[in-house]
Amino acid sequence: MKLFWAPQTRSTRAIWMLEEAGIKYEMELVDIRSPDRKNSKEFLAASPMGKVPAIVDGDMAMSESAAICIYVADRYAAGKLAPAIDDASRGQYLYWTIYTPAVVEPAMAEKFSNVEPNRGRNGWGDFDSMIRIFDERLEGKKWILGDRFTAADVMMGSSAVFMRMFEMLPETKNISDYADRCLARPAFQKATEIASG
């Protein structure tokens, strides 16, 4: 598998996921910040918008960190990092894996930009609701699905760590402890080391 990546991007999530799955991969740096960059055909086949992370795995090519997490978990760690298709927890797993790009990131962007929240207009609700629901979900749980770490925790954990790092995380009952548990995972530590170059 090849991972197209850049430092200080969502690529860290993909690296964390690949490390959790324990599969071998090679990395190709993409200078996404250069206006003069020439994207390879292989990279653009995986990421038509020229965004990282993106992966190529044999004949399969794709981008978007949540999609990569779902793919890697299903293909290489089914039953370990993803509930089986017929497992009752699969729906909640998918919901929380997608919660980061669908709810957390738009709510963070809105808050960061000082845009007035509009729950009626925005499908993600608002920052305060996002935090409340995230925090409530973790009540009495070690991981987002309970005692079992999954790819959903790669997505949600990266969000918790990011919000705390950039002082966006309000005082909460559960999210900060959850971020600590994510930070303590060897695969997260290795991904952070790799991504920081």
Domain map (residue ranges) of the chain: 2-79, 90-188
pLDDT at residue 90 greater than cutoff 80: yes
Topology of the domain comprising 2-79: Glutaredoxin (3.40.30)
Tokens read off for 169:
């995380």
Query: Where does 40-162 show beta strands of DSSP type E?
Result: 54-57, 60-63
Average pLDDT over the chain, rounded to whole? 93
pTM for this entry: 0.94
**Per-residue model confidence (pLDDT) at position 78:** 84
**Per-residue model confidence (pLDDT) at position 173:** 87
Residue 47 DSSP SS3: coil
pLDDT band for position 192 (cuts 50, 70, 90): very high
pLDDT band for position 175 (cuts 50, 70, 90): very high
The total of other beta-carbon atoms located within 10 Å of residue 81's CB is 24
In this predicted structure, which of 73-77, 106-110, 159-163 has the lowest mean pLDDT?
106-110
Tokens 């980061």, located at residue:
100
Burial of 119 (0-12, 13-18, 19+ CB in 10 A): exposed
pLDDT at residue 66 greater than cutoff 90: yes
- Express the helix, strand and coil content of the chain in percent, nearest 5 each: 50, 10, 40
What is the architecture of the domain spanning 90-188? Up-down Bundle (1.20)
Tokens read off for 87:
């497992």
pLDDT at residue 97 greater than cutoff 90: yes
Cis bond before residue 53 (omega within 30° of 0): yes
Tokens 């925005």, located at residue:
122
- Residue 23 phi, psi dihedral angles, 5° rounding: -105, 155
